[in-house]
């Protein structure tokens, strides 16, 4: 287990700033349009913003024979639709990488855990058992919520979130929170009733 060096995070933040400073298309739908902050829906499916989600700073070297190498990206609900999100602060998004042996969690820093066991209650439900930094037994669980769209409900450290596999990035539009001059408040998304959604699946 290790912490990624602080300068990597700084580089990621600079990269985020560069992308949010792109020229905005004239047909862009603005959710907020102020001098210090612009929040908009990115209409371009070939936008460079998609590269933001593919950047994993983990140092995992996956065994070529490994049957599991999953990279999961957070997705958010807004007005009945799902969106990827480029935040003002790059650490806002929590990304997760899973292999047969390692769990990597990336947000404001990067944490790597040794996976002790993987359980699968069905084709939709997976549980990863690991030890936290204090040596305590812990688990991450995800349930495939929407097979057609590839959306899963993750439960990690008693926190629920919606996530999609990195492979499905281009299937979703992006909401961009552009803050050129200073850090601003992150955009507020709709909060799903995760427990109710899980009951519907079961």
pLDDT at 51: 85
* pLDDT above 90: residue 57: no
Q: Give me the mean pLDDT over the 36-50 stretch.
A: 90
pLDDT at 66: 56
Assess contact for 164 and 75: CB atoms under 8 A: yes
* pLDDT above 70: residue 105: yes
pLDDT at 58: 54
Percent of the residues in the chain that have a pLDDT greater than 90, as a whole number? 54
pLDDT at 9: 39
**Rounded to the nearest 5 degrees, what angle is found at the Cα of 70, between the Cα atoms of 134 and 125?**
80
pLDDT at 182: 87
pLDDT band at 8 (very low <50, low <70, confident <90, very high): very low
How far is Cα of residue 188 from the mean position of the Cα atoms in its chain?
A: 16
pLDDT at 160: 96
């Amino acid at each position: 287990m290790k912490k990624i060096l602080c300068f990597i995070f700084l580089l990621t933040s600079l990269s985020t700033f560069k992308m949010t400073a792109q020229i905005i298309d004239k047909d862009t739908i603005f959710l907020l349009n102020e001098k210090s902050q612009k929040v908009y829906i990115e209409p371009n499916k070939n936008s460079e913003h998609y590269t933001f989600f593919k950047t994993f700073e983990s140092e995992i070297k996956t065994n070529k024979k490994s049957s599991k190498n999953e990279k999961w990206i957070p997705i958010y609900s807004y007005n009945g639709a799902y969106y990827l999100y480029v935040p003002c602060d790059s650490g806002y998004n929590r990304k997760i990488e899973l292999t047969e042996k390692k769990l990597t969690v990336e947000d404001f820093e990067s944490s790597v855990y040794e996976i002790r066991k993987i359980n699968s209650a069905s084709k939709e439900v997976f549980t990863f058992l690991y030890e936290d930094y204090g040596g305590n037994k812990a688990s991450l669980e995800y349930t495939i919520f929407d097979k057609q769209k590839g959306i899963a409900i993750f439960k990690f450290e008693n926190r629920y979130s919606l996530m999609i596999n990195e492979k499905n990035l281009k299937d979703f539009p992006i909401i961009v929170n552009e803050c050129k001059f200073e850090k601003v408040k992150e955009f507020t998304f709709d909060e799903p009733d995760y427990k109710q959604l899980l009951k519907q699946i079961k």
